Amino acid sequence: MSGPDETGRIGAEALAAAVAATRHRAGAFLAGLEHSRQPMLISDPRLPDNPVVFANQAFLTLVGYEAAEVVGKNCRFLQGPETDPGAIAAIREGLRAERVVRVTILNYRRDGSRFWNQLLICPIRDEDGRLVNYFASQVDMSHVHEAEAGRTRLADIERRLAEAQRQLSLTLSSAGIAGTWDWDIQAKRLHVDGRFAALTGLTPAPRPGTVPLAPGPLPASAFFTGIHPLDRMRVRLAVSGILGGAEVFDKEYRLLASDGSVRWVHARGRCHFGADGRPARFTGVLVEVTEQKRVEERLRIAQSAGRVGAFEHVPGFATVAASPQFCSLLGLVSARTVAASAVNALVVEGDPPLLAPDQRQEGELPPIETRVRLADSGEVRWLVRRGEAIRDTETSGLRHVGVIYDVTESKRAEVALRELNDTLEARVREAVAERERAEEQLRQSQKMEAVGQLTGGIAHDFNNLLTGIVGSLDLMQTRINEGRTQNLTRYAGLAMASAQRAAALTHRLLAFSRRQPLEARPVDANRLVSSMDDLMRRTLGERVQLEVVVAGGLWLTLCDPNQLENAILNLAINARDAMPEGGRLTIETANAHLDDAYAARDIGVRAGQYVCVSVTDTGTGMPPDVIARAFDPFFTTKPLGQGTGLGLSMIYGFAKQSEGNVKIYSEAGQGTSVKLYLPRYHGEIEVGTEERGEAPRAERGETVLVVEDDSTVRALVVEVLHELGYRTLEAADGPAGLRLLQSASHIDLLVTDVGLPGLNGRQLADQARLVRPQLKVLFMTGYAENATFGNGHLGVGMQMITKPFPVEGLATKIRSIIEG
């Protein structure tokens, strides 16, 4: 804003002259200018900066200045910070070109208030056409201008409103909320809302985004506007029904738009009756369902293709709205409504009902699988029902909407599969049982085989025992016949001892076949091991050297002695099998303390005092992976039919059962040691007595050397020889016999057992012949030791007698050899 104090710059005289000149030029009009209600002023462009030289009262009133403050100034003092520079430039340009300027410009009054100035500036020329003055008039256009701005704002608001409305109408139409009608039957007038009018084409389609306007009252026939010709009759009939007194109007029909497009609508209405009972008003809602129709159509196709039946049921209502497919799935005649009870009556008793009116909660209906007996054929089929309980907008009650479909085939498949699985299981069980039977048989047969293996040794023992028994009895008989009845008890005792040992052997055999009940007793392991000596030697064969190392002061242990014996025997057999080329087997007993550290390493082992029996061989040994599995039942590395793989597992079981432990220490190629720990028993052992008969000695005739590891047999043979008048020498094993043979002793005959530990009878004879080439030999053999003799041909001076033999037979044999 320029201040009025600039006046000073213009020369006062020049100004006064200019003012006077202007007044003069206005002449008679001056009074008119001065008193006009129209603000006006005049400037003089010939003075510097084109100052005001005249301003009327209306102008001064408009702008709030005194005349003195205005005259001599350029008019720009009216301008302010928000004055549009463009407008100012327009004025400047107009003035420069000396033409009329029209502009509306924002000006400021003296008090700072603003107004819109509709300004007109007009150049004034003298007779010669020279520019002498500018005339200007100002009109306050604020009211107009403010309105203009308001309009702009309004337009803006309207635009936003329209957008909102468009959104709203989109929302409304997608929500299916649609046109409504109200037909005044008495007055024959139809009132519809904008959407009804727009839908039916009663009014042109509204601009997108705007809300269609409701038309005024229409003639009643307007209700049928836009209805597709093919549906018009139907709708008319239905309407005439309403006019005739029907209450419910519920129709779907097509609308045909002027552009030829077809839309589906669903009209639902109701007749309201007047006080006189006559139809008074017919109101309802028209909803566009084109998209829904399409969806429905697709759904219908999908449902019938997928054999899906649809239903709608309001719990508590007796009927169900059903699709044709629904009826056909139940074997019902196709109908739109069926009785709920009839549907549920088809359900097989005990299965869940298809329609569950007690489901009173919104949300998914629990899917069910149920069997129904078809109404037409009586066939039973599996159906699945799925659905939802929906809040009904009309009644605000719940509506069950759902589908059913047939799953009989998949059910059948399922059942078949299950049956298959069941039978599969049964078949597997059977197969397993069969395998177990087979395994049991195998085990049994292998056990028998093992028994068979043992039979060699055992038969040998048995024959020895029988020989002892038979021989003793024979002698007794002879003596009785001869009337020499003294000493008879001795022979009876010998026979008895042999019989008892035979009994013990039988017992052991039974133990081996595990027919022996478990019986834990205090056991002296040393004695047990020693008593097994014979059996062991037989079992191990001649190639294996047996060493028994018994600890002095060995504690007693508590276990089943038969089982322990069995365990040791099994370990010995394992050891023998690990030494096919022979080796050394050591059976050792010892007292042992298992400490906490040991116990911690082995689950189920308690720290404490134990009796340890270890069986050690110099055989093949075991690699770690075999050790790891050696205790597993059926684990064997032996060829099929030779090992059951049960030996160690039984030993393990026995050890654990006896609250002891068993451990393998082995290295491949180095040998194996199996240590069996049995708990210490604090107590006394019942002492049993065992009697052994002494062989009698008598001297007469030739000298016979008897080598026999079985002392009874040896004693018996010696006795027989005495009876026959021979002198005898005895040896319990090969080496001892050989020592005698290599000595200077006179020996006429060697009577030797074949199966001898260390050096067998044949080897003994052969070595003896080296020093006594004429030595006569009688072999006594029990069990198939004939192999020792190759093809069975014996050398000169050698004979064989098979155990058991009668005394008579032995005497004859001996006599014939000595004499031969």
Ligand X SMILES: Cc1cc2nc3c(=O)[nH]c(=O)nc-3n(C[C@H](O)[C@H](O)[C@H](O)COP(=O)(O)O)c2cc1C
Binding window for another protein (CB under 8 A); candidates: 125-133, 234-242, 422-430, 464-472: 234-242
> Toward ligand ATP, which CB reaches closer, 643 or 679?
643
- Residue whose CB is less far from ligand X, 96 or 793: 96
Angle, to 10 degrees, between the axis of helix 488-512 and the axis of helix 561-578? 70
Residue 82, C-beta contacts closer than 8 angstroms, at least 6 positions apart:
106, 114
By CB under 5 A, what part of segment 623-652 binds Mg ion? 647
Binding at 345: pick from ligand ATP, ligand X, another protein, none (beta carbon under 5-8 Å per type)? another protein
| Residue 273 site contact among Mg ion, another protein, ligand X, none (CB < 5 to 8 Å, cut-off depends on kind) | another protein
* Min CB(187)–another protein separation in Å: 16
Cα(442)–Cα(449) distance, integer angstroms: 10
Rank residues 575 and 764 by Cβ distance to ligand ATP and give the closer one.
Answer: 575
**Minimum distance from residue 635 beta carbon to ligand ATP (Å):** 5
Q: Which residues bind ligand X (CB under 6 A)?
A: 41, 43, 50, 74-76, 78-79, 88, 91-92, 95, 105, 107, 117, 119, 121, 134, 136, 138
- 335-394 residues near another protein, rule: CB under 8 A: 335-339, 341-342, 345, 375
Could you tell me the smallest distance in angstroms from the CB atom of residue 455 to ligand ATP? 15
Residues 303-322 that bind another protein (CB under 8 A): 314, 316-319
Which of ligand X, ligand ATP, another protein, none does residue 710 bind (CB under 5 to 8 Å by kind)?
A: none
Which of the stretches 230-238, 746-754, 764-772, 778-786 binds another protein when contact is defined by CB under 8 A?
Answer: 230-238
Interface contacts to ligand ATP, rule CB under 6 A: 570, 574-575, 578, 617, 619-622, 626, 630, 635-638, 643-649, 672
The partner residues of 404 in beta bridges, in order of sequence, read: 309, 385
CA distances from 347 to 67, 403, 771 (A): 108, 16, 109
Residue 9, sorted as left (phi over 0), alpha (psi -120 to 50) or beta, turns out to be alpha
Q: 79 touches which of Mg ion, another protein, ligand X, none (CB within 5 to 8 A by kind)? A: ligand X
User: Of 42 and 536, which has the nearer Cβ to Mg ion?
Assistant: 536
- Cα-Cα end-to-end distance for the chain: 173
Cβ distance to ligand X smaller for residue 19 or 475: 19
Q: Is position 244 an interface residue for another protein (rule: CB under 8 A)?
A: yes
Q: With respect to Mg ion, which residue has the nearer C-beta, 617 or 748?
A: 617
DSSP secondary structure string, 328-367? HHHTPPP-SEEEHHHHHHTBPTTSPPSS-TT--SSEEEEE
Q: Choose the contact partner of 750 out of another protein, ligand ATP, ligand X, none; CB within 5 to 8 A by kind.
A: none
- Cβ nearer to ligand ATP, comparing 83 with 620: 620
What is the C-alpha separation between 21 and 207, in angstroms, rounded? 65
Nearest-CA neighbor of 105 among 74, 139, 65? 139
Least distance between ligand X and beta carbon 109 (Å) = 11
401 near another protein, rule: CB under 8 A: no
DSSP 665-690: EEETTTEEEEEEEEEEE-SPPPPPP-
Shortest Cβ 523–Mg ion spacing (Å): 22
Contact 383, 405 (CB under 8 A): yes
| Strands laid side by side in the 319-322 sheet | 337-339, 319-322, 308-313, 398-406, 380-391, 363-373
Query: CB–CB of 542/521 below 8 Å?
Result: no
Question: Considering just the CA atoms, what is the radius of gyration of the chain in Å?
Answer: 67
Helix, strand, coil tally for the chain in percent (to 5) = 45, 25, 30
Q: Which is nearer to ligand ATP, 499 or 626 (CB)?
A: 626
Determine whether 536 is exposed, middle or buried from the number of CB atoms within 10 Å of its CB (0-12, 13-18, 19+).
buried
Is residue 89 at the binding interface for another protein, with CB under 8 A as the rule?
no
Which helix (DSSP H) or strand (DSSP E) does residue 664 occupy?
strand 661-667
- Count the neighbouring beta carbons within 10 Å of the beta carbon of residue 457: 21
Q: From residue 257 to residue 276, what is the string marking binding to another protein with x (rule CB under 8 A)?
A: --------------x-x---
Q: What is the distance of C-alpha 481 from the center of its chain?
A: 91
Query: What letter represents residue 173's amino acid?
Result: S
Closest distance between another protein and the C-beta of residue 429, in Å?
46
Beta-sheet strands, E only, within 595-647: 608-617
Q: In the complex, what is the shortest distance from the CB of residue 650 to ligand ATP, in angstroms, rounded to a whole number?
A: 8
Give contact residues for another protein (rule: CB under 8 A).
Answer: 220-221, 224, 233-234, 236-241, 243-248, 250, 271, 273, 277, 314, 316-319, 332-339, 341-342, 345, 375
